[in-house]
Structure 1
Amino acid sequence: MGTQKIYANDRWREALPKIPARRLAEPSEIAEVIHFLCSEESRYISGDVVNINGGMLMN
């Protein structure tokens, strides 16, 4: 659903050079972070923002 919507818009081509990973995230990569945050392994994390952006905010 989301991937098709993003790729239908040409604006993603403009964003790719700004992303150090040089690609958009796969839906499964987003799901893995969500799964981790919902698990017991993340029990000590609170009040944080997790940016899943291929390093884009580092530039």
Structure 2
Amino acid sequence: MSTTNDLRLLRAQSSLEGLSVGDAFGERFFLHPDVVESLIVSRAIPASPWYYTDDTQMAL
């Protein structure tokens, strides 16, 4: 495989990994608005587990 193809595959993989992490992170904020605001103000990381949604499943 050429270096160009290797780079393209690496970029595609990185994009899918970023999509899935962002999707799972964002999903953790579907809570009561007061809870979300508290998390944002305190800059807290949402508790695990972080499940991805159908958006990631479709991308995969």
TM-score by length of 1: 0.29
TM-score by length of 2: 0.29
Please tell me whether Structure 1 or Structure 2 has the larger radius of gyration of its CA atoms. Answer: 2
